[in-house]
């Protein structure tokens, strides 16, 4: 269990999502009474409080978020795009459903209605 030096707050305090609101209140109270604006351990605590277990952190960096902010992280959705839950659509009615394909060739029925205008190349 990692400890950060921000009074009595610990990284383990953020492992339980039910504690997140209480921890934000603790951080706010301590920030009001603390003379320094924010140190790196405090910033990490705030980041971890905003990203409880089950959250997705998206970044263009290849660096593991644990190196930057602490905590344990796993890679999620390799090669996939996150899509919001839509309870009215059985394709997307629960979290972490997988759908789609990396490539797809359209069938004639899937092609949108369109025309191809053909005229001599010398006409505008």
Predicted confidence (pLDDT) per residue in 10-22, tens digit: 445 444 545 556 6
- pLDDT per position as a tens digit, 60-79: 888 888 888 888 888 888 88
Whole-model pTM: value is 0.46
Helix (H) or strand (E) segment spanning residue 46:
helix 40-50
Residue whose entry in the numeric block shows the structure tokens 């705030």 = 46
pLDDT of residue 8: 45
Please tell me the distance from the alpha carbon of residue 94 to that of residue 115, in angstroms, as a whole number.
Answer: 40
Residue 75: count of CB within 10 angstroms of its CB: 6
Please tell me the distance from the alpha carbon of residue 67 to that of residue 122, in angstroms, as a whole number.
Answer: 62
**Helix-strand-coil split of the chain, %, nearest 5:** 30, 5, 65
Residue 24 has pLDDT above 90, yes or no: no
- Residue spans per domain, the chain: 3-69
């Amino acid at each position: 269990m990692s400890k950060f030096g921000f009074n009595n707050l610990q990284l383990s305090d953020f492992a339980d999502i039910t504690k997140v609101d209480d921890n934000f209140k603790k951080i706010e109270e301590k920030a009001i009474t603390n003379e320094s604006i924010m140190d790196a351990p405090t910033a990490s605590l705030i980041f971890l409080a905003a990203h409880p277990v089950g959250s997705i952190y998206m970044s263009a960096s290849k660096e593991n978020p644990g190196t930057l902010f602490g905590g344990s992280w796993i890679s999620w959705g390799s090669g996939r795009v996150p899509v919001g839950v839509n309870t009215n659509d059985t394709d997307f009615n629960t979290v972490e459903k997988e759908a789609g394909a990396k490539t797809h060739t359209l069938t004639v029925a899937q092609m949108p209605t369109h025309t191809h205008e053909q005229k001599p190349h010398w006409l505008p």
